[in-house]
């Protein structure tokens, strides 16, 4: 969701430029976002896991877990979590660029926005399902959030371009 | 002196789970079987009783494996040595 919303923001912002520039900006932004998310997820997960490791060491009284399977296990989970986070951001970020890559000539930006709103709704359905809440309301909430983001960026872009 | 049965009281973290401990110990030379019984569960750790049987077990190898995985041996509660195991009645 993070990837697709930020990329749609880039696309809306660059919408008055040529198609190749929009694609380049979109892909560049997606990659930057994905790499940044991966690195910050690594960092955050690593800090979190090592804090957890220290707590386990304290609970085990004088037991050092450095070099143990427990530490290697936690390190592996950190790597997996960071990689998944970054990968998901890139996949999400490529979605709004698809209409441009497919060679659409008209209303491409609106098709991108529509695709992002639909995909974010599916995220809402999934979140609703796992939290056992009304999935329709959850999906609609996410769709509205995405529409608000797109709306704000579109207004900002229009104001800047027209000034 | 052949060590045939060993029962140790071990403190282990919740992860990795007891399957990993059991597998790790079972892979050791001369180990015929491993039983892990969870005696107590705390917030971050659990206390388990590990029973290992085999022919000519190596306590050093067993304790090193438990340490490497992340456990801490608190006590040795039972040992059986000799040509056969005599169970406590």
Put simply, whether A56 touches B (Cβ < 8 Å) is yes
A48 close contact with B: CB closer than 8 A: no
Strands B45-54 and B3-13: antiparallel
Q: How many CA atoms lie within 13 A of A51 on its CB side?
A: 6
Are A120 and A146 within 8 A, CB to CB?
A: yes
Would you state the pLDDT for residue A62? 66
How high is the pLDDT of residue A103? 85
Using a CB–CB cut-off of 8 Å, the residues of B that contact A are: 11, 13, 15-16, 20, 24, 42-45, 67-70, 72
Task: For residue B51, tell me if it sits in a domain.
Answer: yes
pLDDT band at residue B73, thresholds of 50, 70 and 90?
very high
ipTM given for this complex: 0.70
CATH number of the domain enclosing B52? 3.30.70.1340
**Cβ distance B40 to B8 under 8 Å?**
no
On chain A, the residues whose CB falls within 8 A of the CB of B68 are 68-69
Tell me the pTM.
Answer: 0.65
Which chain B residues are Cβ-neighbours of A69 within 8 angstroms? 16, 20, 24, 68-70
pLDDT band at residue B16 using 50, 70 and 90 as cut-offs: confident
- Report the distance separating Cα A69 and Cα A77, nearest Å: 12
Instruction: Using the predicted structure, report yes or no on whether residue B63 has a pLDDT greater than 70.
Output: yes
Q: How confident is the model at residue B22 (pLDDT cuts 50, 70, 90)?
A: very high
In a domain, B29, yes or no: yes
pLDDT (0 to 100) of residue A68: 84
Q: A149 to each of A5, A120, A155, B66, how far by Cα in Å?
A: 7, 12, 10, 53
Q: How confident is the model at residue B34 (pLDDT cuts 50, 70, 90)?
A: very high
| pLDDT for residue A156 is more than 70 | yes
Residue A5: pLDDT over 80: yes
pLDDT at B25: 93
**Nearest CA of chain B to the CA of A103: how many Å?**
50
At residue A14, the 3 state secondary structure works out as coil
For residue B87, being part of any structural domain is answered with no
| Structural domain span for residue B73 | 3-81
- Note the pLDDT tens digit of each residue in A28-48: 999 898 888 888 888 888 888
With an 8 Å Cβ cutoff, is A55 touching chain B? yes
Q: Is residue B3 very low, low, confident or very high in pLDDT (cuts 50, 70, 90)?
A: very high
| DSSP letters for A46-109 | HHHHHHHHHHHHHHTSS---TTSHHHHHHHHHHHHHHHHHHHHHHHHHHGGGHHHHTT--SSHH
Written as one string, the DSSP assignment of A106-145 is SSHHHHHHHHHHHHHHHHHHHHHHHTTS-HHHHHHHHHHH
The answer as to whether B76 is a domain residue is yes
Contact between B20 and A69 using a beta-carbon 8 Å cutoff: yes
pLDDT grade for A76, boundaries at 50, 70 and 90: confident
Chain-centre distance for alpha carbon B36 = 7
Give the pLDDT of residue A84: 86
User: B75: helix, coil or strand?
Assistant: strand
Residues of B in contact with A54 (CB under 8 A): none
Domain total of chain B:
1
């Amino acid at each position: 969701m993070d990837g697709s919303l930020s990329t749609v923001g880039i696309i809306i912002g660059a919408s008055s430029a040529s198609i190749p520039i929009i694609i380049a900006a979109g892909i560049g932004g997606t990659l930057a976002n994905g790499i940044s998310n991966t690195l910050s997820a690594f960092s955050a997960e690593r800090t979190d896991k090592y804090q957890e490791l220290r707590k386990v060491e304290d609970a085990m009284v004088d037991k050092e877990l450095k070099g143990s399977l427990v530490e290697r296990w936690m390190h592996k989970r950190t790597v997996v979590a960071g990689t998944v986070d970054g990968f998901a951001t890139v996949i999400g970020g490529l979605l709004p660029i698809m209409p441009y890559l497919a060679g659409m000539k008209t209303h491409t930006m609106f098709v991108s926005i529509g695709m992002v709103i639909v995909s974010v709704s599916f995220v809402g359905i999934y979140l609703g399902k796992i939290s056992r809440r009304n999935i329709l309301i959850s999906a609609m909430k996410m769709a509205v959030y995405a529409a608000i983001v797109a709306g704000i960026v579109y207004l900002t872009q229009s104001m800047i371009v027209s000034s | 002196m052949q060590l045939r049965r060993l029962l140790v009281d071990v403190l282990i973290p919740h992860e990795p789970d007891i399957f990993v401990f059991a597998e790790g110990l079972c892979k050791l030379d001369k180990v015929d079987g491993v039983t892990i019984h969870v005696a107590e569960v705390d917030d971050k750790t659990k206390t388990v009783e590990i029973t290992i049987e085999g022919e000519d077990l190596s306590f050093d190898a067993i304790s090193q494996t438990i340490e490497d995985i992340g456990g801490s041996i608190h006590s040795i509660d039972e040992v059986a040595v000799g040509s056969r195991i005599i169970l406590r009645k």
